[in-house]
Structure 1
Amino acid sequence: MGDHITVRFDDNRAYVELNRPGKHNGLTLEMLRDLVDAARKVAEHKTTRAVILTGNGPSFSSGLDIAAASRNPVAIVREFLPRPLRGTNTFQEACWAWRRLDVPVAAAVHGRCFGGGLQIALAADFRIAAPTTEFSVMEAAHGLVPDMTGAATLSQLIGIDKAMLLAMTADPIDADYALRIGLITDVADDPVKAAEALADRVTAREGNAVAAVKHLFDRSWHRNSRATFAAERMAQLPLLLRKALSSSD
């Protein structure tokens, strides 16, 4: 695992931190792969009862570092291909891996929570935000669509009109508005401490029941997430190809 994703186990919690603070935790392809590996590592740590996702530095994550990713278009194509058994590619699995865990996952967010960073937070079971956090479904600003499971998670959390407005405009919104429309769970001055308190409340209950509730709701709230992930890829692919062809002219 690279230096930009760290995993720490403390008692019955796992802390997974995006650790590229100088770039506002802009996501690289390596970080996305490492997030998948981090979720696997957490799953193998059998005493873990809850996960807290955080970002080091001034932001949770400013989203995909497009400049860094564009240096290796072959790698983008490789990571874009779906895993046959999972039904997700690397971009999607970096988010959805947290839904696959048997334990609750809380994202403690602050600063910028944009694009792919927002989609990681949305894939957590709960989101606690600092009052000054800014959110944006940023992909439209780059001529793209949210394709890191955002279509699935947005459809679970907010109405279709609000989801389309966020995805079409890429307008930033504040924490109060995000809470009002159901994008986040709560606002707290210290989101990590609030996420820990939430984790304590949930993990006070029997672990098998908590896991069963999580998977039951995931399966029933959105009945065909695999088809949604395929639709994300099909919507994104021509946009990516058009951008690649135009940049090569």
Structure 2
Amino acid sequence: MTVSHNVSLTIDGDRAHVALDRTDKHNGLTIDMLNELVRVAGVIGKRSDVRTVILSGNGPSFSSGLDVAKAMGNPLDVVRNFVPLPWRGTNTFQEACWAWRRLPQPVIAVVHGRCYGGGLQLALAADFRFVTPDSEFSVMEAKHGLIPDMTGAATLSRLIGIDQALLLTMTADPVDAAYAERIGLVTAVSADPRAAAEQLADRITARSPHAVAAAKKLFDRTWQTSARRTLSIERATQLPLIVRQVLGRDRNAK
């Protein structure tokens, strides 16, 4: 197992296990963690022996989202990581999630506890989500006067429909696992989501790796709008909101 910047990677045979490991902060995401998620996904993508990936969070929660206070402690670092790389079409915040969609291997998220904001967008970037009955979900960016900008615009409405996506985004209300399953936000609720994830990984591994990779690529490429275009719009919409927050001009955000 390797651990760097509160992200661990273990490769066990044909399976990669990736875990967020900032347990004292409910795996609140730092910019270092986002960069490490990008790096780890790159490592896995080069491993033809890895057939499936299980993504989880250690401690009491999957992830409470971006640690805004820590990130804003270094505004220049935020700015640097907000700028997209032209050849990739994403910035660091987006690539930390989208890198998992780029992988040819299927990614299965195991979720428990809080799954908020950027943490939810990371889980949505997985191909499947198995969650505990007591897990809780929130598109919480509106509480900070922002929108989801870590690829949520490219995943949320496509999974649950635009009305439910707007409802969760505009209200920032938390929802429980049963509701999340009912609207299609998660794949399944399970008393033992890790076991469910391992079982699915076993079933997928029994199939042709080329067919599995082709199926993932097929459905990603045939979603309604190109991901690159959607993520560009996402950044452009978020930028003036960030500026308002920095200047302290959004008085209505609670």
Q: Of 207, 225, 246, which aligns to 1:244?
A: 246
Preserved CA contact (<8 Å) 1:152 1:222:
no
Structure 1: segments with no counterpart, 5+ residues: none
In 2, the alpha carbon distance for the partners of 1:26 and 1:47 equals 31
Preserved CA contact (<8 Å) 2:142 2:172:
yes
Aligned twin of 1:169? 171
Identity of aligned residues (%): 62
Q: Deviations over 1:160-179 (max 9, x none)?
A: 11000000011000011000
Aligned twin of 2:4? 2
Note the C-alpha offset of 1:223: 3.4
Preserved CA contact (<8 Å) 1:105 1:125:
yes
In 2, the alpha carbon distance for the partners of 1:112 and 1:12 equals 29
In 2, the alpha carbon distance for the partners of 1:167 and 1:83 equals 27
Aligned twin of 1:104? 106
Q: Which amino acid aligns with 2:209?
A: G
The within-5 A match list for 1:206-225 is 206-225=208-227
Structure 2: segments with no counterpart, 5+ residues: 250-254
Note the C-alpha offset of 1:121: 0.2
Aligned twin of 1:184? 186
The within-5 A match list for 1:80-99 is 80-99=82-101
Q: Deviations over 1:108-134 (max 9, x none)?
A: 000000000000000000000000000
RMSD: 1.0
Q: Aligned with 2:110: secondary structure?
A: strand
In 1, the alpha carbon distance for the partners of 2:167 and 2:19 equals 30
Consecutive aligned runs of 4 or more in structure 1 exceeding 6 Å deviation: none
- Please identify, of 88-97 and 43-52, the stretch whose mean Cα deviation from structure 2 is larger: 43-52
Are 2:75 and 1:66 aligned?
no
Q: Aligned with 1:221: secondary structure?
A: coil
Note the C-alpha offset of 1:142: 0.7
Aligned twin of 2:25? 23
- Aligned residue pairs: how many? 247
Q: Of 44, 53, 56, which aligns to 1:42?
A: 44
Are 2:118 and 1:116 aligned?
yes
Aligned twin of 2:252? none
* TM-score under structure 1 length normalisation: 0.97
Q: Which amino acid aligns with 2:74?
A: N
- Please identify, of 101-110 and 214-223, the stretch whose mean Cα deviation from structure 2 is larger: 214-223
Q: Of 125, 134, 137, which aligns to 1:135?
A: 137
Note the C-alpha offset of 1:224: 1.1
